[in-house]
Structure 1
Amino acid sequence: MSAPSRFIVLILGTLTALAPLAIDMYLPALPQMQTDFAASTAQVQITLAAFLAGFALGPALYGPVSDGWGRKLPLYAGLGLFTLTSLACLFAPTVEWFTIARFFQAIGACAGGVIGRAMVRDLYPPQETQRVYASLMLVMGAAPIVAPMAGSLLINQFGWRSIFATQALLGAACLILLHRWLVESHPPHLRHRAGFLGALRAYARLLADRSFMAYALAGSAGMAGLFTYISGSPFVLIQYHGVALDHFGWIFGANAFGFILAGQINGRVLHKLDRHKVLAVAQWVQLVLATGLVLIAATDFGGVVGLSAGLFVTIACIGFIAPNSAVLVMAPRGGAIAGTASALLGMLQFAIGACASALVGLVHAHSAVPMAAVILGFALMGPLSLRLLKKT
């Protein structure tokens, strides 16, 4: 990959990482926000579910618009919305206000992920997309490591609201990168402005496509496990296990490192293997490991060290599941429907992720068992989704 190409991938990775950064930076603040807003644990965790719900809804707009009008215009709109709503989060007076602002912040943030995947499909041939997706995951994967530590530092120095001032600055910086360095990747002769009804028909065709749904649901189930961990870990580690705020980011990032490592192995070592087989094996391994995670949580075996080890290997499996499912979804669907396919994939991933996050909040207890049980439930959903392929 040439130096200019690597720089473009770095920019696309940064745009795609906006949502993980927006999620992970504020995780250490959740217990403090609960106190400041005089809110319940469920109310604070619903702010994360609201973000994921917005992230599920946003792609419905960006996919058809990017297919019909090009990639850059909706990117400008999304990044502008992200910047403004980050400021709304900064000045939120109540948890209800904050929840609404987070919902719309997610709609802005999802532009980078949806359109970034479509731009990869525009710019690179199918045989290179898995390696490019692995590179995107390397940039994205830095977010779970860097963001909680940065969030903890900001909280200690300036309070939790400074996190959203930082996100507003990040959104403005991405607007500059977009304007200065990214060219339009979707040529006019491939654009198709189908209108609202046409967009609905395109989504309906994809929903009726068993191959699309099998791989999209497989990837969504894997990502739901990640969102379960993201939503539940601040309360499990900080409140239940008594982990200090300064140490939370390190533990959270260490557990997420397995996700990055697996993604790089997948893109650089396993890229010549059959993607479907790699995906299927990773799903079954995750199911076995998630079962072990529930047992660790139920018995408190090894304390925070035992729990972290179980989370590390279970979350690592997603590094094989997410990129392979994305390639299997996107590779056959280029040209005029790449944006729509990417949008629907994002909608499914984050709608299911929002359900997982809300579920963890509703069944919250002073234990790691609910978090581990939800991860296990979605790990079981992964292999079941691939059974759709047997009906084609």
Structure 2
Amino acid sequence: MAVSSTHSAHTDDGSAQAPTAAPAEPTGLQRLRLILVLGALVALAPLTIDMYLPALPEIGRDLQAPSSAVQLTLTGTLLGLGLGQLLIGPLADSVGRRIPLISGTVLHICASLLCLVAPNIAVLGVLRVVQGVGAAATMVVALAVVRDLFSGRAAATTLSRLMLVMGAAPVLAPTLGSTVLVAGSWRWVFGALAVLGVVLLAVAVLALRETLPPERRIAGEVLPVLRTYRSLLTDRDFVVLVLVASLAMSALFSYVSGASFVLQEQYGLDQQQFGFVFGAGAIAVIGASQLNVVVLNRLSAERIVLYALVAAVVFGAVLMTVAFTGAGGIVGLMIPLWCMLGAVGFVMPNAPALALSRHGEAAGTAAALLGAGQFGLGALIAPLVGVLGNDGPAMATTMTGGALVALALLTVSLLSGRRVRSAAAVAGS
């Protein structure tokens, strides 16, 4: 699976112009500042997803909705994040990074305020979709900015550092949500998200410069956008890497979707205990993403993804065994679960970095497809936990299934790529 990087502009008819120089890679304090800014922005999406998790049972009781319907509000958020990135990605390649970022953050703030007064579960679900669309802007623009400024190993390393900041959001989100719930009802959580949106809007306006110069922007007409999507979707290696990243993310979202019901209703944890245990899982993801920076000095990103998926499947098999037998209680469940989340933590920075490195000329659109795949597939797979029973076996089966399919896709792609390279070598000899 060869990885390449290009920086070229396109005319309105889709033809390539002369390549333009990419902005210089930030170094030192400038790079640290950029990572903190981007990390704060990408944290909006996981906070939007996770902060209300401790309140899911309470929302069901208050709005008189079954747990499956309450879980669909989470699915709506993931769907909004996926669809929003498909819309925002081409826009970010056409008009630059700042306008979509600021507009999306404003949309998120408005949706959060409306969630405060949602009268029923249907309205809340629709507003969560809109909220997800707004948060999508911060995700796709942050990834595009990384690709604007970094390439290759530097991109993978930067994404790993972003994971440290982004990973703190799932750790803090349920705890923050639980703290809010102590003071008020579940509606207060959305008030807190609105306040957070205002803070991040100020960050976007004041601390992030434009990283896509006009000469590198892609015409915003429909046909050039469709041609860009077609070129991405016909790149087999790009598609495989997007699917691998998406399936790894779906394993994480299966945990997010089912954890509140499994840990609170099946194992009897209260909201504060749930926040602590859930956060420990996020720490596993963060730790792996930071260890990934060290491992990149010894192994390629491609090999790390392969080995991590093998480990995820092995730990997933143990998790399923424990979940179905009940051996070890909650401790027996959480140990293989945390190990599996750690394995996923190695996949999450590397698979996107490999995918984005192939299409620097359309980083926004490529990031949009990547994000749409991750959150769209998450929106499809996460509800399976509820369909299968909202218990430990359902969560374990869904998580392990996603990792297994990702491993199969990557293995087939790698074997196919080696056969093609071998045939080319023979033909050239």
What's the TM-score, normalizing by structure 1? Answer: 0.97
Residues 1:235 and 2:258 aligned together: no
Which aligned pairs between 1:198-347 and structure 2 lie closer than 5 A? 198-335=224-361, 337-347=362-372
Residue from 125, 129, 135 that aligns with 2:155:
129
The residue that corresponds to 1:47 in the other structure is 73
Give me the whole-angstrom Cα distance separating, in 2, the residues matched to 1:220 and 1:331: 17
The residue that corresponds to 2:383 in the other structure is 358
**1:388 Cα deviation after fit:** 3.2
Aligned length: 390
**Does the 8 A contact of 1:211 with 1:389 survive in 2?**
no
Residue from 203, 207, 217 that aligns with 1:191:
217
Give the match's secondary structure for 1:58: helix
Q: Deviations over 1:358-379 (max 9, x none)?
A: 21122224x3101111111101
Q: Deviations over 1:66-115 (max 9, x none)?
A: 11110000001110101100111111110000000000100000111111
What's the TM-score, normalizing by structure 2? Answer: 0.89
**1:212 Cα deviation after fit:** 0.2
The residue that corresponds to 1:171 in the other structure is 197
Give me the whole-angstrom Cα distance separating, in 2, the residues matched to 1:197 and 1:111: 22
Name the amino acid aligned to 1:86.
S
**1:4 Cα deviation after fit:** 2.8
Q: Deviations over 1:270-307 (max 9, x none)?
A: 34411111111111110111011000101111111111
Give me the whole-angstrom Cα distance separating, in 2, the residues matched to 1:376 and 1:87: 37
% of aligned pairs identical? 39
Name the amino acid aligned to 1:196.
V
Give me the whole-angstrom Cα distance separating, in 1, the residues matched to 2:246 and 2:414: 16
**Does the 8 A contact of 1:46 with 1:361 survive in 2?**
no
Change (3 A) 1:208 1:284: same
Name the amino acid aligned to 1:154.
V
Residues 1:138 and 2:172 aligned together: no
**Does the 8 A contact of 1:118 with 1:338 survive in 2?**
yes
Give me the whole-angstrom Cα distance separating, in 2, the residues matched to 1:254 and 1:139: 15
Structure 1 stretches of at least 4 aligned residues deviating more than 3 Å after TM superposition: 388-392
**1:389 Cα deviation after fit:** 4.5
**Does the 8 A contact of 1:293 with 1:372 survive in 2?**
yes
Name the amino acid aligned to 1:78.
G
Q: Deviations over 1:23-42 (max 9, x none)?
A: 11100000000100100010
Residue from 131, 142, 148 that aligns with 1:105:
131
**Does the 8 A contact of 2:308 with 2:346 survive in 1?**
yes
The residue that corresponds to 2:37 in the other structure is 11
Return 228-237 or 196-205, whichever deviates more: 196-205
Q: Deviations over 1:307-360 (max 9, x none)?
A: 11121001111111111101110112113x010100000011111101111211
**Does the 8 A contact of 2:218 with 2:224 survive in 1?**
no
Name the amino acid aligned to 2:133.
I
Residue from 59, 62, 65 that aligns with 1:33:
59
**Does the 8 A contact of 1:51 with 1:102 survive in 2?**
yes
**Does the 8 A contact of 1:221 with 1:381 survive in 2?**
yes
The residue that corresponds to 2:3 in the other structure is none
Return 201-210 or 81-90, whichever deviates more: 201-210
The residue that corresponds to 1:376 in the other structure is 400
Give me the whole-angstrom Cα distance separating, in 2, the residues matched to 1:384 and 1:351: 20
**1:269 Cα deviation after fit:** 3.3
Q: Which structure has the bigger radius of gyration?
A: 2
Give the match's secondary structure for 1:317: helix
Give me the whole-angstrom Cα distance separating, in 2, the residues matched to 1:101 and 1:271: 44
Name the amino acid aligned to 1:384.
A
Name the amino acid aligned to 2:256.
I
Q: Which runs of 5+ in 1 are unaligned?
A: none
